A and B are shown apart, each in its own frame.
Chain A
Amino acid sequence: MVVCLQMKLELKNISKNFHGVKALQNVDFQLQENSIHALLGENGAGKSTLVKILCGVYQPDSGIINLNNKQQSIPDPSASLSLGISAIHQESVMFDELSVTENVFIGNHITKSNGLVDWGLMQDKTNQLLKDLEANIEPNEKIKDLSIAQRHIVQISRSLIHDADIVIMDEPTASLSQKEINELYTIIRNLKKQNKSIIFISHKLDEVIEVCDEFTVLRDGELIKSDSIQNTNKDQLITYMAGREVNQIFPKNNVTIENEIFEVRNLFKKTQFKDINFNLRKKEILGFYGLVGSGRTEIMKSIFGITKLDEGEILFKDQKILIRKPSDAIDQGIVYLSEERQQLGMTGLMSVKDNINMAVMDRNSNFYVMNKLKEIKNSSAMQEKLNIKVSYWSQLTQSLSGGNQQKTVIAKWLSTKPEVLILDEPTKGIDVRSKSAVHEFMGELVEEGMSIMMISSELPEILGMCDRVVVMYKGLIKDILNVKEASSEQIVKLASGES
């Protein structure tokens, strides 16, 4: 059967420069009607620039945009919306303090004939919409009380209300659990059935191959390849994206695991988690797998002294220790790298050097006076070790690329010379190459004698990097498995509360 597809959107020769940096160079992009199109590329490849051009946030320096075979310009975001283009962004486009209904209708409130907003009608429509999507969300709830997956669904409802023909999804599955991802796939396929075209941005190539019909790969602002998904495979996509073969095998070196170094007993926090018992051995990588919101981050935050435990004890090197605040943990040699590295990990307006030295000010000072020499020594050593790309030392951290920011945060914590490192989703939303750099680095750290606890929602990462995995479900440890003996099915089953 030959399906004749209509061209929905066509970009021709799009170029965009920022202060001499070529973000996009003569890029062509074609979106068929009724198809799911993957837009691929490493961080900085030009994907977001392209999306922002479609959303009317940026104007291309040159090139043509054809929508339904008619040339269009998109001068601002509202023009983009009225052309039927709607983007579902990774974060920060929701209004936390407003209700679900209002977030769905935002900028598009229905008004009665007297000009006042018609709350009743909007409420009913939202209810209907959520029912159609088979989502269990109350229209009255505030966005801040929803899970990340539920927020995505609200955003999708929003684009349906706008009657968008083209829906752009920027990493919609980045922080979702497998179950939620599957639900999202169903919704995406439903959208396709309703004759929508979807641009799907993701770093997870398995899901791209599963969900998408076509793909376009960008690298350094240039078009590399555009084709049907059927004509390619995962390795080929990686090669297109990276421009070279990237080792996807996890570089876990064989280290001999030594004695137990860290243990928790009967940790309990009301409404969050209970009966948490596990231990960590020297040079071990212990994984924490579970749905988003299963209590993994909450446990780590309590161990690190950010939130208070209700009950339970923590043992470090066979000694009972008391951690009341993060500095207690740091003094013991336990550090925690938060999932939200931009907000909680670094100070964008401070220099790279100052960020690296931030957690060790006491060690780099004599009687409260900073010792500049020690600081410079420390930051240079870290920069060399982690290969942080800076132009000059006083460069502001916010002007670095995402990958280098991440490295700066890691450098900050490594400066404290920790023995136990807690990583919370260390590779979330970063490109393939940076990802394997982080993995490689974790391997080196355990070799040097560090012990690592890693929260991850990506099963391949858990299976590839960890020695043992703690599987959590709704604040309880379901099991602790030896990775070599565990199957992925078994882990997923435990994490979704079955068996």
Chain B
Amino acid sequence: MKKILLNRDFILFSIILIILIAVGFANPLFVTPKSISDVLTDTSILIILALSQMIVILIRAIDLSVASNLALSGMLISLLSTVHPELPVYYFIALSCVIGTILGVLNGISIAILKVPFIVTTLGTLSIYRGLIYFVSDGKQVYSNEFSEDFLALIHVKFLSLSFLFWLAVLVFIVIYILLNHTRFGRNLYSLGGNPDAAKYIGVNENKYIIMAYSLSGFFAGLCGYLWVARYSVASTQIAIGFELTVISACVVGGISVMGGVGTVLGCVLGALLIGLIRNALPAVDISQFWQLAISGAIILLAIIINTKTEQRKEKTIMVEN
């Protein structure tokens, strides 16, 4: 029982419940099924990106370029859809994923083969990919009336009164859960992040795994490129600007150690949910917009402090009786 209470994921879950109850008292409208389903929909993209960021963080790296990757992939397919509105939506989704993956592979090659440190590489591509959006779009926006109906329709499909976005996030959660816990690839990511030198001794090819991790991160950024553009019905140079930081905070809150090799898929999702909840709850309880950013930052810090305090390495017991 004590073990469960001290479990990171359980604590995170409790924090989410407490916030939900507290906000519910202040504004009962916030805890209606409709409102909660909106929060889930709103957080789905964050969940998907946090899960893919987790893969990268597990091997002691970070991908700062995800938001730019997302925006560039989204812009490219939006531009294509204005020229070829007749193409089916699945075509655009696939294309967006392919573009994202290529951008991710470029990150991976730079880090693994060219040996440019990950922070420098992805800081660089953060600007490069964002800059390329200006280049391909001439700085113009693609507005909602320019997209084909088909392009925007999929995102509004509902199943059991929950959105397509939500179900997609659930699917990604299941896929990544299996990938990280039940495949050799996933387990080797944990070993590589936990102890890179030892992983080499057991024959894990570090470069291959770096490139794979960044490709996956790119793939999901590309997927979210379509999702973002379709959901907000707009593609511009400015979409998702700074969103990589939200994604990384979700991972950190979820207990994914930036030292690598530690973290659960469930924790990552809960981290994203907590951040999504805070962002949605603060306006609902009438907190001035000026305060919202600072308060959400403070709550994130608090969650991390509570989380790490309980996780702190327990000292080994030497004496049995005391």
Q: What residues of chain A have their CB less than 8 Å away from a CB belonging to chain B?
A: 55, 57, 76-78, 81, 87, 89, 92-98, 102, 106-109, 111, 115-117, 119, 144-145, 270-274, 293-295, 298, 474-476
Contact = CB atoms under 8 A, between A and B. Distances in A.
Contacts of A474: 318-320
A93 B203 CA distance: 12
Nearest to B314: A145
Contacts of A57: 200-201
B316 A293 contact: yes
Given A81-B202, A95-B194, A116-B178, A109 B187 contact: yes
Interface in B168-227: 178, 181-184, 187-188, 190-191, 194-195, 197-204
A109 B180 CA distance: 13
Nearest to A81: B203
Contacts of B184: 109, 111, 117
B183 A116 contact: yes
B198 A92 contact: yes
A124 to B, nearest CB: 17
Interface string B115-140: 00000000000000000000000000
Contacts of B203: 76-78, 81, 107
Contact of A92 (B187, B190, B195, B313): B195
B182 A117 contact: yes
Nearest to A87: B201
B20 interface: no
Interface string B290-322: 000000000000000000000001011111101
B318 A272 contact: yes
A96 B195 contact: yes
Contacts of A270: 322
Given A98-B190, A116-B183, A476-B319, A77 B200 contact: yes
Given A81-B202, A92-B195, A93-B195, A115 B183 contact: yes
B154 interface: no
Contact of A271 (B178, B204, B318): B318
B201 A93 contact: yes
B322 A95 contact: no
Nearest to B201: A77
Contacts of A145: 316
Contact of A94 (B195, B313, B315, B319): B195
Contacts of B181: 117
B322 A274 contact: yes
B95 interface: no
Contacts of A96: 194-195
A93 B194 contact: no
A341 to B, nearest CB: 19
19 contacts: A55-B201, A57-B200, A77-B200, A77-B202, A78-B203, A81-B202, A87-B201, A93-B201, A95-B195, A107-B203, A111-B184, A116-B182, A117-B187, A270-B322, A271-B318, A272-B317, A272-B318, A274-B319, A295-B318
Given A77-B201, A77-B203, A106-B187, A98 B194 contact: yes
A107 B318 contact: no
Contacts of A475: 318-319
Contacts of A119: 182
Contacts of B195: 92-96
Contacts of B261: 95, 97-98
A244 B315 CA distance: 45
Interface in B239-273: 261-262
A106 B318 contact: no
Nearest to A293: B318
* Interchain residue pairs A-B with the least CB separation, the first 10: A78-B203, A107-B202, A475-B319, A93-B198, A116-B182, A475-B318, A95-B194, A271-B317, A295-B318, A109-B184
Given A95-B191, A116-B183, A298 B318 contact: yes
Contacts of B197: 92-93
A93 B322 CA distance: 35
B317 to A, nearest CB: 5
Nearest to B188: A107
Residue with the greatest number of chain B CB neighbours at <10 A, chosen from A107, A109, A274: A107
A53 to B, nearest CB: 14
Nearest to B203: A78
Contacts of B315: 271-272
Given A93-B198, A272-B315, A474-B320, 20 more contacts: A55-B201, A76-B203, A77-B202, A77-B203, A78-B202, A81-B203, A94-B195, A95-B261, A97-B194, A106-B191, A106-B202, A117-B181, A117-B187, A144-B313, A271-B317, A271-B322, A272-B319, A273-B318, A298-B318, A474-B318
A108 B184 CA distance: 8
B262 A97 contact: yes
Contacts of A109: 184, 187
B72 to A, nearest CB: 33
A291 B79 CA distance: 71
A167 B200 CA distance: 18
B127 to A, nearest CB: 30
**Most A C-beta atoms less than 10 A away, residue of B178, B197, B198, B320:** B198
A273 B319 contact: yes
A57 B315 CA distance: 35
Nearest to B197: A92
Nearest to A55: B201
Nearest to B262: A97
A95 B194 CA distance: 6
B180 to A, nearest CB: 10
A82 to B, nearest CB: 8
A157 to B, nearest CB: 14
Contacts of A116: 178, 182-183
A117 B191 contact: no
A271 B188 CA distance: 36
Contacts of A106: 187, 191, 202
A149 B320 CA distance: 19
Contacts of B322: 270-271, 274
A21 B183 CA distance: 43
B184 to A, nearest CB: 5
A474 B322 CA distance: 11
A414 to B, nearest CB: 30
A193 B195 CA distance: 33
